[in-house]
Structure 1
Amino acid sequence: MAPNRIIIDTDPGVDDVLAMLLALSAKKEELEVVMLSLTFGNVEVQNCLRNVVTLFHYIEKEMAWRRENGREEGFEALVARKPIVAVGAEEPLAEHMMVADFFHGVDGLGGIHHSHPHMSPAETWKSLFKPTPEPLNAEEAAELEKVKQAHSLFTPSLKPAHEEMLKLLRDNEPDTITIVAIGPLTNLAIAAATDPEAFLRVKEVVVMGGAVNWPGNPPNLALLSSPALTSLPITPFSLTKQPPTPLRHALNHRNQMTPVKLFPLDITEQHLLPRTLFNSYITSPSLTSSPLKSWVELFLLSTFRKIASLDTHLNPETIGLQLHDPLPIWYALCARDPKWDFVTEDLRVETSGQWTRGCCVVDRRGREVKKGLEGPLEEDVVGDAGGWRDERRGNRVERCVGSPGEEEFAGVLLRRVFGGSVVGEGR
C-alpha cells in the first residue's frame, strides 16, 4: 500500500513541533512527508524556520544516539525521503499580523533559544536559505558543504513556499498529495490565487482551525478568514482577502471542489497530552540520555507551567496540552481507520462583522438544500439570500467529530516519537 503523501503547512509552535515529530516518525508505508511549508502564526516566520532546523538537528542527534545504544533508529518516513523546507508568508494578505507568543514564547518554544542557547544549532544554517554568492573560493565552498552536511535531513529551498507547493502539485499525478494545514492558510491562499489549475490537483486539504459548537479563540486570532466562501471551490480558511476575479471565474468554470476536512477546536481540545503521562514517560530509564527527550522536555514542561499560569482554577495534577496540530497528522497516518467520523456541512467564515470576524457560521435552520438547480449562480433561491439552500453555492466541508480514541492518542504519539512503552497510559 502506497504511503499517504503530504505537505505540512505550519507555524511551529509547540504543538506544531509535536505534529511534525509524529509525521516524521511514521512508518515509511504510512506517510511520505514531501514538504514543510512555513508561515507566520504562532510566532514570526524566521523563528518558525529556526524551530524547524532545530527539530531536524535533534532528530539527527537522536538517531545517532539510538544507533550507539543498539536501538532502532525510527523516523522511517524521514529516512525514506528528505522533505523540502520552504519559507512562505511573513504576514497576512490583509489586516495586521497577530501572533500567539504569549503562549508559545517569543521564539515559539517557550523561549528556550534564549534561556538555553547551547541547545540551539549554530546559526550557520541560515546560509542554506540565502542565494549562494558566486564565485565561491575553495574555503567558502568547503564551509558551505560543511553546513549542508550538518543539516542533511532536509532539502532547503530558496523559493517561496507557495511556489514549491505548486511545483510539487504540477510534477505529480492529480489526487496524490494531501496538504495538512496546521497554521494560518496564507500560503495556500497565495498558491490557489497564483495557479488555480495546479492547486486543484491536490488530493484533499486537511485543516486544523476554527470552532463550530465550541468556544474559540478571539476572532482576530482565529485561523480563519475568507470573503470568497460562497463562491470558491477551495479551502475556506485564511484567504485573507478577496481573490482576483479571474481566479473565481476559473474555479467556478471547472465546477470542482477541493475536498476539505476540518479539525476544529470542537474535536482537537478533546485530545490531551496529560502532564502526568508525559512526566511518567520521560522519566523512564531507557530515555535518560535521549537528546530528543531532553529537548522536547525543555519546552513542554515550560508549556505546562504556562497552561497552569493562565488558569489558576486548573488542578496542577490534571493539566494537559491540547493536541490541536498533531490530531490531523494522526488522521493522515491512518485515514482508512473506520473510527474517524465526519459530518458534511456548508461551513462559512464571517469576515466583516465588528465582533464576529473570523467566526465559523453554519445554517442551523434545518431547511432542505435544493439540488439540481440551473441558471446563474447570482440568482438566489427565494427567501434564501445567503445561498444556503442552493447546493451549487457555499462550501461542503467535512468536519471531524470523532477519532479512533481520545484516551489513546497521547500514548500513540509518545510511543511513535520516542519509542518504547507508555507507563500509566491514560488521562
Structure 2
Amino acid sequence: MAPRNRIIIDTDPGVDDILSMLLAFSAKPEELEVLLLSVTFGNVDVQSCLRNVVSLFIHIEKEQEWRRSVGKSEGFTTLKAHKPLVALGAEEPLADQMMMADYFHGIDGLGGIHHSHPHLTPEDTWKDLFKSALKSPDPDEAAAAREMSGSHSSFTPSRLPAHEEMLRLLRENEPDTITIVAIGPLTNLARAAATDTETFLRAKEVVVMGGAISVPGNMNPVAEFNTYADSIASARVFALTSPNPVSTMPPVPPGARGGVESTAHAPFLGPYPEKLSQRLKLTLFPLDVTTPHQLIRGHFESVAKPLLESGSPLAEWTIAFLSATFDKIESLHTTRNSGADVGLEMHDPLCIWYVLDPDSPHWKPTATSPEDIRVETSGQWTRGMCVTDRRDRRRRVVAEGDLAEVPGDTGNWLNDFAGNRIVRMEGTPGVDVFGGVLLERVFGA
C-alpha cells in the first residue's frame, strides 16, 4: 500500500527532535514515508546534530536485532520499507548572530551522553560518509551515489547540500505530494526557497514548529528558539504565504555578517521573483499549542526501565539522554513539578503526530486562521518575536497590487493584498494522551 503521507524532516537534533524521528520511523509504511532528513544547526552545531542522526539509526538497528532475538516484532516498519536520505545543511544562520540551545540540550545535543556514555557514541567512521559526499556536489555524481545501497543499512548519505536535496525531491515528484516538517531553524528552507522559489512552492504543505503568539518565549521573553535562531530565514519563509511576499520580507541589516555583500549568503538574501504561481501553505505549531504536550518522567521510566532490564538498546540510549534532560528541566525551574512528575515539553514530536494523520478532525486551526503572523528581525529585545495585529480595526479596501500604506496602517496590516497567511494550529487529538501514544509507538508498550 502506498504511504498516505510523504515527508521531509528538517531537523537540528536535539532531544525532542530525536523523539520526533523515533515517532516518525515507528509509523507503518502505509502511514508515512520519510524521504529525507535535512540536518541544520540549531540546538547544537550541525556536526553534532549529524552525529545524533547517525546514532539514532544505529540504535534503531540494535533495537530491531534485540527484538528479533527475544521473539518480539522489530517495529520501525516504515524505515524498513523506505530508506531515507540524510543531507548535511546550514552551519549558521543567514545573517543573525549564531545562537544555540546547548545550555538545555547539552553540548552534544543529547544531554552530554557522548561524554558520559561513550559506549553509546557511534564510531568516527560515520564522518567519512558525509565528507566524501560533500566533495561531490555534481548532480550526476550525486545520482550515482544514491544508487549505492551499501553505504549504510538504514539511510543513504546525500551527495548534495540539504537545501539542494530538498529541491531535487520536490522537482522530481508530482506537486503537492511532499510535506516538509521543519522542527529546527528555517535556514535550509530559506535557502531552498531563495534558490528555486517555484520548485519550493511545489511542497504540499510546510509544517513548522516555531513561534510564540500569546505565550512567553523560551529564548527571550517573546521569542521561541527556532524563530530566534534564524529570524531572517523564518521571516523569508513566512513571506511566501503572502499574496505579495515583498510586503513582509525582512530587511537585511547593512554591513551585518552574512549581509548582501557576503558572497556566502548573498544568493539566499535577495528578493523573490515578482510573480509567483501560488502561495505557500504553511501550518504553524507555536509554543501556545506544543507546550502543554509533555512526556512525564514517571510515565517514561515505567515503560523504559523494564525494557532496559530486559536488554533493550533503545531503552538504554533514551534513558541516558532523557534522564539528563529531566534533571536539567528540574534545575531550571522553581515552580514546576519535581521528581517523577517532571515533564519534557514535546514541541517537535507534535508536528510528527500531525503528519501521521493530518486529516483527523481533532486537529483544529484557530478560528482566525489563516492569520497574518510576521517575524521580527531587527528589534533590540524582540528578535524572533511573532507579531500579530491585535487592533480592533476594519480592514481597508485597496486596489490589488497597491501596497501603499494608509494612515494608521504602517506595515500594510489592514488590506487584503498584503501580509502573511498562516494556518495556526490550536486543537489536537489530546494533550493528556500524546505521551502514551509516543511511548506505545516507539517501544511497543
TM-score, structure 2 as length reference: 0.85
Q: CA deviation at 1:314?
A: 2.9
**Residue deviations 1:251-284 (CA, integer Å, cap 9, x gap):** x412521001000111111100001101111133
Matched with 1:395 is 420
Pick aligned residue for 1:338 from 355, 358, 361: 361
Unaligned 5+ segments in structure 2 are 136-147, 253-259, 261-265
On the 8 A contact 2:372/2:419 being kept in 1, the answer is: yes
Matched with 1:130 is 131
Q: CA deviation at 1:67?
A: 1.2
Secondary structure at the counterpart of residue 132 of structure 2 = coil
Q: CA deviation at 1:388?
A: 1.1
Pick aligned residue for 2:387 from 361, 371, 381: 361
Mapped pair 1:309 → 2:309: no
Sequence identity percentage: 57
On the 8 A contact 2:205/2:280 being kept in 1, the answer is: yes
Rounded Cα–Cα distance in structure 1 between residues aligned with 2:32 and 2:357: 9
Kindly provide the amino acid, as one letter, of the partner of residue 369 in structure 1.
Answer: R
**Residue deviations 1:50-72 (CA, integer Å, cap 9, x gap):** 00000000000111111111111
Kindly provide the amino acid, as one letter, of the partner of residue 336 in structure 1.
Answer: D
Matched with 1:350 is 376
Q: Residues 239 and 164 of structure 1: is their aligned pair in 2 closer, same or farther, counting only changes over 3 Å? A: farther
Mapped pair 1:418 → 2:443: yes
Q: Residues 62 and 246 of structure 1: is their aligned pair in 2 closer, same or farther, counting only changes over 3 Å? A: closer
Matched with 1:425 is none
Pick aligned residue for 1:273 from 295, 302, 312: 295
Unaligned 5+ segments in structure 1 are 135-146, 421-427
Q: CA deviation at 1:316?
A: 1.4
Matched with 1:325 is 348
Q: Residues 387 and 79 of structure 1: is their aligned pair in 2 closer, same or farther, counting only changes over 3 Å? A: same
TM-score, structure 1 as length reference: 0.89
Secondary structure at the counterpart of residue 52 of structure 2 = helix
Q: Residues 361 and 184 of structure 1: is their aligned pair in 2 closer, same or farther, counting only changes over 3 Å? A: same
Kindly provide the amino acid, as one letter, of the partner of residue 309 in structure 1.
Answer: S
Rounded Cα–Cα distance in structure 2 between residues aligned with 1:152 and 1:287: 27
Rounded Cα–Cα distance in structure 1 between residues aligned with 2:55 and 2:268: 41
Matched with 2:226 is 223
Rounded Cα–Cα distance in structure 2 between residues aligned with 1:133 and 1:389: 46
Pick aligned residue for 2:429 from 390, 393, 404: 404
Rounded Cα–Cα distance in structure 2 between residues aligned with 1:231 and 1:387: 16
RMSD value, Cα: 2.8
Secondary structure at the counterpart of residue 122 of structure 1 = coil
Q: CA deviation at 1:22?
A: 0.3
Kindly provide the amino acid, as one letter, of the partner of residue 27 in structure 1.
Answer: K
Secondary structure at the counterpart of residue 292 of structure 1 = helix
Matched with 2:6 is 5
Q: Residues 361 and 170 of structure 1: is their aligned pair in 2 closer, same or farther, counting only changes over 3 Å? A: same
On the 8 A contact 1:186/1:238 being kept in 2, the answer is: no
Matched with 1:48 is 49
Rounded Cα–Cα distance in structure 2 between residues aligned with 1:320 and 1:246: 39
**Residue deviations 1:334-375 (CA, integer Å, cap 9, x gap):** 11110111121110111121111211111111333356x434
**What is the aligned length?**
407
Q: Residues 365 and 86 of structure 1: is their aligned pair in 2 closer, same or farther, counting only changes over 3 Å? A: same
Secondary structure at the counterpart of residue 85 of structure 1 = strand
Kindly provide the amino acid, as one letter, of the partner of residue 187 in structure 1.
Answer: N
Secondary structure at the counterpart of residue 321 of structure 2 = helix
Rounded Cα–Cα distance in structure 2 between residues aligned with 1:160 and 1:249: 21
Kindly provide the amino acid, as one letter, of the partner of residue 240 in structure 2.
Answer: P
Rounded Cα–Cα distance in structure 2 between residues aligned with 1:80 and 1:240: 44
Matched with 1:232 is 239
Rounded Cα–Cα distance in structure 1 between residues aligned with 2:400 and 2:350: 41
On the 8 A contact 1:15/1:326 being kept in 2, the answer is: yes
